[in-house]
Structure 1
């Protein structure tokens, strides 16, 4: 079985899609796919489908949707011509006391692979293995094909999970950019960061990395302009000033002359730049808060 939730929902049995076209059965499959190999209670499924206000017929309706999913799975098994050790759809979509479980059978799940690669990448960052971290985190991010559950109607459960997954993606992205900065790839990063700071207009960590990349590329004035744009956005939209850490970064760039920017790699540049300009490697997922309000 193949299960992908990092983008449009894609669940395949023997290589054949079993994603239904009807919205609510797809919603049921989405939650089961997210929690593959775990029992999801009928009550949780009902809460997801009816936003915490299920009708009296909720359990019966959930059973109907499960039967529709099993029918799709049976068709996939019949089309494939072999069950590959699976006797029927009930072995794939299992009924357990109180709920249902999507049995991955040890197959591919993109979420688990993302978490594995990202976790190994964070450990590489902890060990200052920046080439390894950049590679591993890049592979983790490449598993994303768009927003999680991009084509699935989301209720309370999936909406929270989609936001959580987006935060994990942004954390991995932050650390991958951090590793690339450590490797002196600031010029290459500029195009990507230009898009990111426009998309995430109040994300201070990404803006800080953008400022660093501009400064190291000999574009100190543009780095300071980037800070001012972010400050204007924060004040206008949120009524707050940039974090202490970001203000320190802005001051470091302001006081640094152009001669402090090296074109011979990030290590020599980092040696000459004041604290705050040479963004250092932070450990693990907490790096996303590097420019947090705590300063």
Structure 2
């Protein structure tokens, strides 16, 4: 028998869940598990369940709850595994082996990790702490927290979880894994901006990643949070760390995890060895033609070069790349250096187009002299050599290919190699010679349009939820997780087509890249509801919004408030740079959705939430409670990395459903191939064409299950590369 409480409470016998009784029985089990193998006084249990003013029958209700627990444990075979609830003065004791409670396993792994940390065993510490933290599926006892219970033990558990994460970060930093831990660290620090140890660790990781300005910004945010919440200045350790960053102290590149009372930068870690790894990257080379003239002052030339470099760095970072090196008027950026994405080539080309557009805007505004650029993109295998104290070194023929292309270009031109063109097909349009003509908007990217196969279980589940929403007029939410390319968008597209005559289907998508406002998905839904299309200019969109709002809301003042608040969503476009605050528009957006659903049931689709802003995630996660009694079904799609940011996503709420979309089965893949062959008038023998079905048909299964003998699929710690799909593509 297994007790899982690091998340919602689960009791399992083998692979089968054991149903628990009502709230009192679950709360009794929870409190006994918090004190497993220790006697708990009856008075403490009564206070935990009912507070300071329990009902007169509280002890009798507690006895019934304990009796029910004993019966369920006995029926599930728990007695054979030495699990039982005993009557022990002054109350009750739950006897259970440590290995059968995830909470006890976490505590044991945390202590093992802390011991290894104290002994300088960084690998052992990182392994134990990572294993312990992986047991968490969300806030401990999440379903009880929803009922308003605020036990001190639960607060202590969350603190222990955060401390374990900080210990893990110390071990990872000592191993030189600052890049690998950075995403988790940024998310944790964003949730706890006043926690000085976390802020110090994030500052060190950012500095060692070559992002010293962002490291200093973390210090400024921490100081602001401490002053606002507690009226305090940062402690001397954090202030000393800021000074070390400003002075480029060499010891920062060799950080060892310190004891909790030692400055985070004060101890030297063992020297780390150089690591070399082959990986697919997309290289972007930019050459500026007019940074300086022969008669210019060198300082003026240097200042213009710095301004141009700042523009390049900002644009490259937006699309997930790294501005790697610069030499005079030439800059080199790499996509896939820290982590390989399946769309690195597309990212590099979009960055190139965005750089050219930004420089044209600067020239047009008169803020800077003209800086015509030539940009080349090449994709291929490179050798990445990383050192703990130096930047990564990238070598390989991909650099030579990029330089060769650059030499053939005229100012203002962008060219991509054949491999990059293949990897970005459907997203970028090219001239016959490889010059980039333009990029498609994200929402217009090409998708697979062949036969729709499988997904019967997911379709039936959504049909059932939709029927319940319409019948009860109560909102429901469902989150569909899946690896990239597994077919989430294709399923959504099929549902949209099939359900459009039953309900009104509206959708919004989070941009893959960090260049847009965080409210873009809300804007997509609003535009769908108002009939605003991409070709509409801002005045036309505003007229459609005004007409839609006044058609839904009778009160003139409320309607004017909604129009003025929702206006930024209508004016939002793909090139928008200025952020729009989620909180400012969420209330008006929810009201608009409610009023629309009163006229006709709504099916709201929000895609790709894994890259969504934290404030938007707060809105979506609480959407079923924000909405009134109206028939709205919200379907959110996301990659599994959302669960690293929000481990408790969708857990515990009765109106939320979570499902993971897996790849197509072997039978479904063969069925799909047969249908395609029939469509083409060929014999159903073309299994080697299955990889060409990407994206959206369950490519993990479709690709890897069809690799012919002699073909190659490689996976590295930086990401995945599948040569079966074409160079630079990834099988998830």
Residues 19/246 of structure 1: CA separation in 2 closer, same or farther (3 Å cut): farther
Residues 240/83 of structure 1: CA separation in 2 closer, same or farther (3 Å cut): closer
Partner SS for 1:152: helix
Counterpart-to-counterpart distance in 1, 2:81 and 2:117: 41
CA contact (8 A) 1:134 1:179 kept: yes
* 2:80 match: 84
1:250 and 2:242 correspond: yes
**Runs of 4+ residues over 6 Å off in structure 1:** 154-158
CA contact (8 A) 2:173 2:205 kept: yes
1:35 and 2:13 correspond: no
CA contact (8 A) 1:49 1:155 kept: no
Residues 291/9 of structure 1: CA separation in 2 closer, same or farther (3 Å cut): farther
Counterpart-to-counterpart distance in 2, 1:114 and 1:108: 11
1:64 and 2:64 correspond: yes
Counterpart-to-counterpart distance in 2, 1:125 and 1:172: 11
* 1:187 match: 179
Any gaps of 5 or more consecutive residues in structure 2?
265-732
Written as runs of structure 1 = structure 2, the 5 A alignment for 1:266-285 is 272-273=250-251, 278-283=254-259
Deviation, structure 1 residue 67: 2.2
TM-score, L = length of structure 2: 0.34
1:126-165 per-residue CA deviation (whole Å, 9 max, x = no partner) reads 1111111111111111111111111125899961111111
Which has the larger displacement, 205-214 or 50-59?
A: 50-59
CA contact (8 A) 1:14 1:76 kept: no
Greater per-residue strand proportion: 2
Counterpart of 2:135 (choices 136, 143, 160) is 143
Counterpart of 1:222 (choices 211, 214, 221) is 214
1:49-73 per-residue CA deviation (whole Å, 9 max, x = no partner) reads 1112223322111112222223333
CA contact (8 A) 1:214 1:223 kept: yes
Structure with larger Rg: 2
1:228-279 per-residue CA deviation (whole Å, 9 max, x = no partner) reads 12212222232221111101100110111xxx6xxxxxxxxxxx326xx754
CA contact (8 A) 1:194 1:210 kept: yes
Of structures 1 and 2, the one with the larger relative CO (CA 8 A, separation 6+) is 1
Residues 85/229 of structure 1: CA separation in 2 closer, same or farther (3 Å cut): closer
1:176 and 2:168 correspond: yes
Counterpart of 1:103 (choices 74, 83, 95) is 95
Greater per-residue helix proportion: 1
Counterpart-to-counterpart distance in 1, 2:46 and 2:60: 10
CA contact (8 A) 2:21 2:68 kept: no
Give the CA RMSD over aligned residues: 2.7
Partner SS for 2:86: strand
* 1:265 match: none
1:196 and 2:188 correspond: yes
Partner SS for 1:218: coil
Counterpart-to-counterpart distance in 2, 1:158 and 1:290: 33
Deviation, structure 1 residue 16: 4.4
Residues 12/95 of structure 1: CA separation in 2 closer, same or farther (3 Å cut): farther
Residues 247/122 of structure 1: CA separation in 2 closer, same or farther (3 Å cut): same
Counterpart-to-counterpart distance in 2, 1:114 and 1:239: 35
Residues 179/40 of structure 1: CA separation in 2 closer, same or farther (3 Å cut): same
* 1:206 match: 198
Residues 129/74 of structure 1: CA separation in 2 closer, same or farther (3 Å cut): closer
